[in-house]
Amino acid sequence: MLNPSAFKILLVEDNPGDARLTRALLSEVEGARFDFTHVECLGSALEAVERQSFDVVLLDLSLPDEHGLATVERLRNRAPRLPVVVLSGLNDETVAIEAVQSGAQDYLVKGQGSGELIMRALRYAIERKRGELLLLDAKEKAELANRAKSEFLANMSHELRTPLNAIIGFSEILKDEMLGPSGEPRYRAYAQDIHDSATHLLEVINDILDISKIETGKFEIREGVVAVPRVVDACVRLVQGRAAEAGVALTVEVSDELPPLRADERMVKQILLNLLSNAVKFTPKGGSVTVSAAVNDGALEIIVADTGIGIAEADIPKVMTPFFQVDSSFNKKFPGTGLGLPLANAMTELHGGTLRLQSTVSVGTTATVRFPAERLRRDRATPGVEGMRTPTPRDG
Ligand SMILES: Nc1ncnc2c1ncn2[C@@H]1O[C@H](COP(=O)(O)OP(=O)(O)O)[C@@H](O)[C@H]1O
Ligand SMILES: [Mg+2]
């Protein structure tokens, strides 16, 4: 495209003297040929770039029909891939610099310099624009690919969930011998295994579905009123068995006086469960895990602290990204997909809150979930929020 013997230049200049000078200077450049199209106002320039292609535009910033930065902007909107070299007068060089900052590739001060200098500016502008476009194209491709991946994940997880419902439902009937005894104890045990595996698989698929929804911006919170002590209790009960098996002490320090939290209960549970299961999973025998919740500076803080293996400082931002797991012997021993923390983080952020990890290797990790003060105020409830209604006799 860059053929120095035939530069196609669009010269946008209303002053005939300036236009003549530019052309004269360029004609002195040895070994180069120019194919000029000269127009005198922005309107004609906009038409010209529609009709034919140019290698570069030389653009005066004060034209009869437009002036200053808007000149560059309007041209760029019409021909976003076209390199632009701005022509400025001696007295408006600052505007020219601003033009370069806002998208032109270079500028020249009229009446200064030689044909060679102008030529160099043109070449440079073309190369700079080319580099810019390559980057832009690469970025667009990456974004497209990422969106395709998220959509694929969402569709796949949806398809996988449907048959799992049958597997879970029927294995439950078999393991509980709901339709009569199976007569062979191993059948019951196998049905239990099928049920456990399928339930685990469903959890993994739900995580993947959630993360892909978050990435495509389709995740929404369903606000209600959450009694935090009750949710903490429910989550603790779910990991108690695992903690006992692993020889990890589990302590709860939650006051019953906590104000109700305006939040999506499923998400609060998921956040807490993800943090708790990590704390239990990454704490060796003899260690402890403590869950506490309190109002701090008006905000509600739920803290899960463990005395486990810890996370190196450099890994803390990484564990918040999907699918990342620190490479440790612990990770090899336990199942996991690397989605727990990114999900907990995203769900907290959907509530306007923050999730912070503090950790020291071999000492332990503290995860702090902070819900903003406005989520504790009753008066800010959105209309129709479940649980906020005054109970009527019909509600029982
Ligand atoms: N409490 C913790 N102590 C030590 N390491 C942790 C802790 N929580 C998370 N990690 C590290 O962060 C990684 C990502 O955690 P998570 O997103 O929950 O995924 P998963 O638990 O499925 O591996 C874990 O694999 C582990 O390496
Ligand atoms: Mg986890």
Rounded to the nearest angstrom, the distance between the alpha carbon of 393 and the centre of ligand 1 is 47
Nearest CA to ligand 1 atom 13: 325
The residue among 53, 38, 25 whose CA lies nearest residue 119 is 25
Enumerate residues 6+ apart whose C-beta is below 8 A from 351.
221, 263, 264, 267, 371, 372, 375
Print burial letters for 19-40: b (CB count within 10 Å at least 16), e (below 16): beebbebbeebeebebebbbbb
- CA 55, 56, 61: angle at the middle one, nearest 5? 165
- Residue 311 Cβ inside 6 Å of ligand 1? The answer reads yes
Backbone angles phi, psi at 330, to 5 degrees: -65, -45
Residues 6+ apart with CB under 8 A from 257: none
How far is 260 from 229, CA to CA, in rounded Å? 9
105: its two tokens: 């590739």
DSSP of 314-350: GGHHHHTSTT-----HHHHHS---S-HHHHHHHHHHH
Nearest to 364 by CA among 291, 284, 250: 284
Q: How far apart are the C-alpha atoms of 262 and 222, rounded to whole Å?
A: 10
In this structure, the strands spanning 7-12 and 34-39 are parallel
Distance 319 CA to ligand 1 centre (A): 7
Residue type, 386: E
Q: Please indicate whether residue 338, judged by its CB atom, sits closer than 6 Å to ligand 1.
A: yes
Q: Which residues lie below 8 Å from residue 232, measured CB to CB, with a gap of 6+?
A: 252, 254, 272, 291, 293, 302
Distance 30 CA to ligand 1 centre (A): 66
User: By C-alpha distance, which of 105, 81, 103, 107 is closest to 94?
Assistant: 107
CA distances from 167 to 11, 192, 202, 209, 382 (A): 72, 11, 10, 19, 39
* Interval 206-260: pLDDT, tens: 998 898 888 888 888 999 999 999 999 999 999 999 999 999 999 999 988 899 9
pLDDT tens over the chain, length 396 residues: 445 468 899 999 999 999 999 999 999 888 888 999 999 999 999 999 999 999 999 999 989 999 889 999 999 999 999 999 999 887 778 888 899 988 899 999 888 888 999 999 999 999 999 999 999 999 999 999 988 888 888 888 889 998 999 999 999 999 999 999 988 999 999 999 999 999 989 988 999 889 888 888 888 899 999 999 999 999 999 999 999 999 999 999 998 889 999 999 999 999 999 999 999 999 999 999 999 999 999 999 999 999 999 999 999 999 999 888 988 777 666 778 899 999 999 999 999 999 999 999 999 999 999 999 999 976 544 444 444 433 344 433
Does any ligand 1 atom lie closer than 6 A to the CB of residue 337?
yes
